[in-house]
Amino acid sequence: MKLSIVIPIFNEQEVIPELCHRLVLLIRELTVQLQLNKKEIEIIFVNDGSSDNSLSLLRNFLRKQKNFKVLNLSRNFGHQFAVTAGIDYCKGDSVVIIDADLQDPPEFIIELYKKQQEGYDVVYAKRKQRKGESIYKLFSAKLFYRLMNKLTKVNIPLDTGDFRIMDRKVVDILKTMKERHRFIRGMVSWIGFNQTGIEYTRAERFAGETKYPTKKMLKFAFDAITSFSIVPLQITTYLGVSISSLGFIYSGYVVYLKIFTNETLSGWSSLIIAVLIMSGVQLITLGILGGYVGRINEEIKNRPLYIVENVYTK
């Protein structure tokens, strides 16, 4: 049975030597513990337009390892697209997705593989502990996964990333899903089949800096929510109805005071407050609608999700 391991790479020159060393040890353990044929193990690095020496380092290790393959993308397309490229090019009956930063330990792939052999189509790694991460990162990640499950009808496992092993039939279906705003862990959950998770402790980043600062995290969260939910659009509708109702009630109150009382209403403060609130709501609503319309515009262009400049093998 052929096993493929897909690893996206973006400016990871500090990590690559240790990563490749541990992958070599992993290949040895896969052949010993799981009786896999070494020739049927492929590790696909996807260089996502790195601007440092990542590609040179990978090509150097490539000369020593027949199991290694490098896809070099023409520019930086983003993490989810780099993973997609690796999935499209891999040939394994079982396919693993894992990041390069060594927060997800490569050695844990053995446990994922063993669990899959019990009859599961997808086995995802569930984080029971996340070392070296700030309180803000822990809180925002926890909030994100729970918000996703509230907003969508897809049951996305809590506290999981893209680190998982998938059967070929799941991979083949995933390859047919060509949407541009990709949330792969959500897409895999949407596919269904027999899925389960096993817990592990996520380590600190081995070296370098995170490739997901707050700005990218927010964009990723927006893409994830709008890919699997129309609730934001429904919220704008409810918000519009609620504010309109309040406006009618307030208008009735003003008319009542004008006709039945002698009270003088200057109206400046209330008018300004009403205008500001309505303007803010309208802009928020237009922003949400614009986000969905923009997604449609990008989808109908039907451009390739990524471009592979070179494929390097030994």
Q: Using CA atoms, how far apart are residues 71 and 309, in angstroms rounded to an integer? A: 8
pLDDT band at 171 (very low <50, low <70, confident <90, very high): very high
Q: How confident is the model at residue 158 (pLDDT cuts 50, 70, 90)?
A: confident
Dist CA 36 CA 92 (whole Å): 12
Band (244; pLDDT cuts 50, 70, 90)? low
Residue 45 pairs with which residues in a beta bridge? 7, 70
Give the model confidence (pLDDT) of 8-24 as tens digits: 999 988 899 999 999 99
**pLDDT tens digits along 77-116:** 988 999 999 999 999 899 999 998 888 899 999 999 999 9
- 224-241 pLDDT, tens per residue? 666 666 666 666 666 666
Q: pLDDT at position 122, please?
A: 93
Residue 184: per-residue pLDDT: 86
pLDDT per residue over 27-68, tens digit each?
A: 988 988 888 888 889 999 999 989 999 998 998 888 888 889
Distances (CA, A) of 273 to 28, 71, 98, 276, 277: 69, 56, 51, 5, 6
Enter the pTM of the model: 0.72
